[in-house]
């Protein structure tokens, strides 16, 4: 009985540590950016997919959720915060759809299995990343107007970088997925 209790406590502590460290990694990845208007290109999509693959959907979603709550609460965790504002004001700006898309991307990337072949992994990563862009473009269109070149502003500049990030993750997925065993 005592051993089971200790194992459960250890698992909870590991999970909480993974969530906090993942949120920190996501914050750091938000600050690694190449400025574009209206949405900056960052390493966040790489980290979001990495979190889903390595932590699984429960801990991965909790990590993304913590990150979003931190940003909405006013901590300068988002890409252009604090210089472009903080908190809910920043969250509801041009990047909100992309930020919400992090949740779906994390979930879909967590569905990658060790047994999946390279092209299955590639397909799942493309699907996961696509959800970020679909939600991001939908919100961007609502916010700045559908008469603007939404695809040119919110997706096209980032496609080459996304292909590169997806390719790296697809090549490393067998190593990354092994992290789940430790959590």
User: What pLDDT, in 10s, does the model give residues 28-75?
Assistant: 999 987 776 666 678 999 999 999 999 999 999 999 999 999 999 999
Q: Decide if pLDDT at 169 tops 90.
A: yes
Q: Sign of dihedral through CA atoms 131, 71, 41, 27?
A: negative
Give the domain extent around 32. Answer: 2-182
Number of independent structural domains in the chain:
1
Q: Sign of dihedral through CA atoms 151, 101, 75, 11?
A: negative
What's this model's pTM, rounded to 2 decimal places?
A: 0.91
Distance of alpha carbon 174 from alpha carbon 178, whole angstroms: 7
Q: Decide if pLDDT at 104 tops 80.
A: yes
Question: What pLDDT sits at residue 38?
Answer: 61
Q: Decide if pLDDT at 183 tops 90.
A: no
């Amino acid at each position: 009985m005592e051993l089971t209790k200790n194992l459960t406590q250890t698992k909870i502590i590991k999970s909480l540590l993974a969530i906090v460290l993942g949120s920190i990694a996501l914050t750091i990845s938000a600050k690694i950016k190449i400025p574009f208007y209206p949405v900056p290109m960052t390493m966040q999509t790489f980290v979001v997919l990495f979190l889903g693959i390595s932590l699984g959907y429960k801990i991965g979603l909790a990590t993304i959720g913590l990150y979003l709550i931190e940003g909405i609460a006013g901590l300068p965790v988002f890409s252009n915060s604090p210089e472009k504002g903080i908190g809910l004001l920043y969250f509801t700006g041009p990047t909100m759809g992309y930020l919400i898309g992090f949740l779906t991307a994390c979930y879909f990337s967590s569905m990658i299995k060790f047994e999946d072949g390279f092209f299955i992994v590639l397909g799942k990563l493309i699907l996961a990343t696509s959800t970020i862009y679909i939600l991001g473009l939908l919100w961007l269109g609502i916010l700045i107007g559908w008469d603007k070149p939404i695809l040119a502003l919110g997706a096209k500049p980032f496609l080459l970088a996304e292909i590169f990030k997806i390719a790296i993750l697809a090549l490393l997925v067998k190593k990354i997925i092994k992290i789940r065993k430790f959590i």
